[in-house]
A and B are shown apart, each in its own frame.
Chain A
Amino acid sequence: MENNKIQVIVIGAGPSGCASAITLARAGKKVLLIERGDNAGDKNMFGGAIFTQQTKELYPNFIEEAPIERAIIQHQIIMLNDNDSIKFSYKTNSNEIPNSYSVIRSKWDNWCVEQAIKAGAYFAPKTLVKELIIENGKVIGIKTEQENYYSDIVIIADGVNSLLAKQAGLRNEIKDSDVTVNIKEVFKLPKEKIEDRFLLDSANGAGAKILGGPLKNMFSMGFLYTNKETISLGIGISLDDLKKLKMKPYDLFEKFKSHPSIASIIKDAKIIEYSSHMIPEGGYNSMPKLYKDGVMVVGDAAMLVNNVHFEGTNLAMLSGKLAAETAVVAINKQDFSSKNLSLYGKKLKESIVIKDLKTHKNSVDFVKKHINTITELYPDLACEFFRVLHNASNEPKNEVYRKFLFRILKSGVIFKSIPLGIFAMEKCIKR
């Protein structure tokens, strides 16, 4: 690197930054990928599972070569009420390639960086970018704790907190309603026990979303993923609800874990790690400006998460790739102006990233408005339904049915479900 000058600097070696770096390196451009952790992944935590489609586009052999944990072939939704639970479980037994795989970030992120290095990218770990160097409104480089580096383009891929997108003037302060605080614990269990508990065969895994019970009446959800020899279990709660809760997030998590249906999943399992991380949940309306002279912002730093489908890493990879493709065009033209980088905005708009965020533009607000119906009424009635169905008491059945029907009518669930139905229909037809 001459005089610390390179064509592109990518800040952050998560899914989005790695996607940018490998795409640029493959196109023969000189790129420096910078990460503050001692190793990539050291500072990161997610659910989680990566998605096959977008991952394969970047790393065609990842299924054979990458450190993946389990193929997620079973998807569950678990609804809790105060004591009981109801579970929807979908399992695919087809021979198609599974559409997601659980991974551990410290291993996964590292592997992605290795691929970028093999493709020709330079990698600088243990390097914290303190600020951008901006000259006449154009981003021309970065300051680290050690030295300054200069580049034609900087790609900001520094995750949800993105202090740098803010410094660049691309985004404002984040609102507390636009993020969830997530905590996770990883439980060690023998492989066979995991497979028995989820009725899996080896190599295959399960993922679950959990709502209601201890998490009722707040924008909060539990999540679970099986890894090779561990189970990742966590909860997320929107920061504005957490502020109102007046309960520490880890106490809420303890309450959640003590629900009988959750306790049985992690019975006898030893906690090996506790962690926390935020998710940007503000969606389309919270997106920052995506580019300006000499700079583009990708992944979580640009708030690109589809919180209805729990998609983050795939949108991070896709946006990282599209920004890199734009950088290649800019380098070939030697034009790094905002006008020329607007190609990145155009590419994002034409991709699922913006299309899906737009579809779900008002979804979080909608769910928040109907949170009691979704997280309390539905789980209660669903549990009640099964109790009625299976309770062989001495009461005549028509009497039992009548009571349940009365309960349904009294709860107003039919009336309360109309907006949800209309909302779902809208998502199908609106373009």
Chain B
Amino acid sequence: MNINEKLSTLKYNKDKESHLTVDNEICKQCNDRVCTHICPADVYEWSEETDSLIIRYENCLECGACKIACDKKNIKWRYPSCEHGVKFKNG
């Protein structure tokens, strides 16, 4: 089962704007881009084409791991505004 199928089991209410933001200039200098492989929802992806970090914030599970994992402390992390984000029925 791939990650998109996993995420499709969840109920989301997409926020108007991203609750996860980064300074892309810092990401450009980042070697291992750890956010792109530790996230359980595959929110982050590096785009060689645009030389920037793609953030699919609407898939976020609000676990908080990326904020701690980024060694450059480059992720401005907050919760989605109320009534938005993910909802677990069977947590």
Interface residues of A (CB under 8 A from B): 36-38, 41-46, 104-106, 126-128, 145, 160-161, 163, 173-176, 179, 181, 183-186, 230, 232, 239, 242-243, 245-250, 254, 271-278
Contacts and interface: CB of A to CB of B under 8 A. Distances in A.
A41 B91 contact: yes
Nearest to A39: B87
A259 to B, nearest CB: 15
Contact of A38 (B7, B73, B87): B87
Contacts of A243: 34, 38, 69
B90 A104 contact: yes
A67 to B, nearest CB: 12
A425 B85 CA distance: 47
17 contacts: A43-B62, A43-B88, A44-B91, A126-B82, A128-B82, A163-B78, A179-B65, A239-B68, A239-B69, A242-B65, A243-B38, A243-B69, A246-B37, A271-B6, A273-B89, A276-B61, A278-B64
Contacts of A247: 37
Contacts of A254: 1
B31 interface: no
A275 B78 contact: no
Interface string B46-66: 000000000000000111110
B1 A276 contact: no
B10 to A, nearest CB: 6
B3 to A, nearest CB: 5
Given A250-B3, A274-B7, A161 B88 contact: no
A173 B78 CA distance: 14
Interface residues of B, dominant DSSP: loop
B10 A274 contact: yes
A46 B91 contact: yes
B81 A145 contact: yes
Contacts of B10: 273-275
Contacts of A242: 38, 65, 69
Given A128-B82, A243-B34, A42 B87 contact: yes
Contacts of B3: 248, 250
Given A38-B83, A128-B81, A230-B90, A273 B38 contact: no
Contacts of B38: 181, 239, 242-243, 248-249
Contacts of A42: 87-88
Contact of A271 (B1, B39, B69, B88): B1
A106 B64 contact: no
Given A105-B91, A242-B65, 10 more contacts: A38-B87, A42-B88, A176-B68, A176-B69, A181-B38, A183-B40, A185-B6, A245-B37, A274-B7, A276-B63
Contacts of A38: 83, 87
A272 B1 CA distance: 13
Contact of B9 (A160, A273, A276): A273
Which of A44, A104, A179, A275 is most buried by chain B, counting CB atoms within 10 A of its CB?
A275
A406 B1 CA distance: 42
A175 B1 CA distance: 31
Contacts of B91: 41, 44-46, 104-106, 184, 275, 277
A232 B88 CA distance: 13
Given A179-B65, A181-B65, A248-B42, A127 B7 contact: no
Contacts of A183: 40
A185 B67 CA distance: 23
Nearest to A160: B64
A277 B88 CA distance: 11
Nearest to A108: B91
A272 B90 contact: yes
A160 B77 CA distance: 14
Nearest to A254: B1
A38 B10 CA distance: 15
